[in-house]
Structure 1
Amino acid sequence: MDFEKHNKELIKKLDDLKYESNGIVDRSNQSIIICRNHLNNYKKEVIKTGFKSIVKEIEFFKRTKQIPLTQLIYYSEIRSFEIQFPKVDTNEQRKYIKRKLNKLNRFFLYNMDFGQYIQSKQTYFDEQYFTRDYFDNLAITSSKFYFQDPDFCTSYDMLLGKFKAYNSFILYLQTRLKNQKKSKYYEKPEVGNQVELQWTSTKTDLTELIYALHHCRVINNGKSDIKEIAKALEGVLHFEIGDCYKTFAEIKTRKMSRTKFLDDLSQGLLTYINNSED
């Protein structure tokens, strides 16, 4: 099996989900399934063919397997975080994010020695850490993975996956915290049972809407730029849009309708109007 080729295909599939999924939870669900399927295929290949040398085995568990494993852990953490994320009260939301960050910080402190080993690019323990002969030396730490297959795991490959995934997850949480702090400037005084709004469609759909609002000059008589409108809607809709300029560039390359979301909005409203007249 050409693992490098399969890893490139995996990354492309995960990247495509940024524009095809309906929000971060849906994207996480699909990403988890894709990563599991890749890991399952890798496991079958490893059990079937094995490795020609210890060097090859180390290379697989320290680098090759880490691509789908890291993404699996990363999106599993995001999914869990978003499902449990408080739906109201921005103060509670910020506290929740900070608790998650503190928990991750404790993980890195507890595994400081291993972290320094990896960060300094040392290799003298690689045979013990990343070959299956030393699986029984598995580090006992708090983990969601209570069972690991000794035919497809080493004593430290899961821990390495967590290191890589948690570093990315920290950046995700920091961005969420930053957006939560910004969102307070868009909050209104509570009136009755006011409901917070959450954008539940895709980044691409929101980008279409932002560009339409800007170029139709319906916000501040067209004096607000794309970035300002995007930031305002991020706060109101509690949604991270990312690089909308890049997303818009991809919209322009569409072979079908370039305004698919706006077309759907128009059709949906027309259908409602027509039905309401019956």
Structure 2
Amino acid sequence: MDLIINKLEGAIQKKELGLNDVLTDAPIIIKLLESGFEELKLLISDFHFEEKSDEILFFKVKKPRLFSKLIYYQKIYHIELNRPVSGFQVQECFLKKEFEQINAFYNKNTEFIQYYRSGKTLMDEFYFIRGKNDIELNLESFYFERDPRFSTAFDFKVTRLLANDMLAAYLNNQLVRLKYQEENSYNIDDTIPYAKWTDKKTALAEIIYGIHEAKSINAGNIGIKMLATILGNTFKIDMSDIYQIFLEIRSRKGDRTTYLSSLIKSLNQKMEAADNR
């Protein structure tokens, strides 16, 4: 199972690093995810988890982390496919309308979202163990979710939450770009030197959380989501799933800040080498 997930995540990350045009590149990512989910579904449908904690981890973290990307890329593909091609105000109005569905989801699921974001676990066995499906959820589920052997009562809500988080970040970024272009009358991409993050997303996430916790930007008066958006835009990598990445980092065994530790080691080695010259 983990082999399939790791292989799929690796393939998706490579495609994301090369993502330049949504209309051209998103369908490739969507196809990869759909194929991967079919394979994962065949495995999980008849799979028995030895521990409840393993089943909860899969349906609370692992599956939503991937599935949310499928929904996200399908959504931004259709947004760009139907987006007006001219007029700053027309495009702005179009993008802002997309927020209505996101806000409706947040408002409808406030209690669960607070539970999930706070890291609580009291209701996890009800939310993320198979066999306790909610009838209401079946009405709003994806076709992958209609098989109770491959879904739980609330894993699809987590999936939609993560997808909406990524979508909100994408829309905000597009609105900022539109505003900047309107005010300056040139393409924002032409004003920023090309610099692309080529390491793992978890590595950049460690830096983002480290900066945030050290209160190094605006004396700490900046949200983690905004900080992730700024650095993601700077280095041309989508960091809209920053909360989900943090859960992945927290679940590590041993040294949980492997990238930050490697930075310290590399810098010390450089200084020691300079001292010995």
Q: TM-score range by the shorter chain?
A: 0.5 to 0.7
Report deviation, 1:138. Answer: 4.0
Q: Which residue is 2:148 aligned to?
A: 150
1:244 aligns with 2:198: no
* Aligned: 1:84 with 2:82: yes
C-alpha separation in 2, matches of 1:66 and 1:170: 17
> Alpha-carbon deviation of 1:165?
1.2
TM-score by length of structure 1 reads 0.63
Match of 1:180 among 160, 178, 181: 178
Query: Is contact 2:181–2:187 with CA below 8 Å preserved after alignment?
Result: no
Cα deviation, 1:95-123, whole Å, max 9, x if unaligned, reads 11111123212211111001011011111
Structure 2 vs 1, CA of residues 60 and 140 (structure 1 numbering), >3 Å: closer, same or farther? closer
**Compared CA separation, residues 92 and 37, structure 1 to 2 (3 A):** same
Ranges of 4+ aligned residues in structure 1 off by more than 4 Å:
19-22
- Deviation readout 1:16-36 (Å, 9 max, x if unpaired): 224545611222111111111
Q: Which residue of 1 aligns with 2:187?
A: 233
Aligned to 1:40: 38
* Count of residues in Structure 1 that have an aligned counterpart in Structure 2: 198
Letter in 1 for 2:101: K
Partner of 2:204: none
Deviation at 1:94, TM superposition (A): 0.2
The amino acid across from 2:187 in the alignment is L
The DSSP-based 3-state class of the residue aligned with 2:45 is helix
- Provide closer, same or farther for how the CA distance between residues 170 and 11 of structure 1 changes in structure 2, counting only shifts above 3 A: same
User: Identity of aligned pairs, percent?
Assistant: 24
Query: What TM-score comes out, normalization by structure 2 length?
Result: 0.64
Q: Following superposition of structure 1 onto structure 2, how do residues 190-269 of structure 1 map, counting pairs within 5 Å?
A: 232-234=186-188, 244-246=194-196
Which of 158, 163, 168 is matched with 1:170 structurally? Answer: 168
**2:65 touches 2:162 (CA, 8 Å); kept in 1?**
no
Q: 1:90 to 1:143 in 2, by over 3 A?
A: farther
Structure 1 pair 235–242 and aligned structure 2 pair: CA distance change class (3 A): closer
Which ranges in structure 2 are unaligned for 5 or more consecutive residues?
Answer: 200-277
Note the alpha carbon deviations across 1:216-268, whole angstroms, 9 max, x for none.
xxxxxxxxxxxxxxxx43378xxxx987222799xxxxxxxxxxxxxxxxxxx
1:125 alignment partner in structure 2: 123
Contact 1:7 1:67 in 2 (8 A): no
Residue 81 of structure 1: how far off its partner (Å): 1.1
| 1:30 aligned to which of 28, 31, 35 | 28
Deviation at 1:91, TM superposition (A): 0.7
* d(CA) in 2 for partners of 1:173, 1:91: 14
Letter in 2 for 1:150: P
Offset of residue 56 of structure 1: 2.1
* 1:138-175 deviation digits (Å, cap 9, x = unpaired): 44487363661111111111110011111111111000
Structure 1, gaps ≥5 residues long:
188-231, 250-278
Q: 1:40 to 1:55 in 2, by over 3 A?
A: same
User: Which residue matches 1:101?
Assistant: 99
One-letter amino acid of the structure 2 residue matched with residue 145 of structure 1: F
Q: What is the Cα-based RMSD across aligned positions, in Å?
A: 2.7
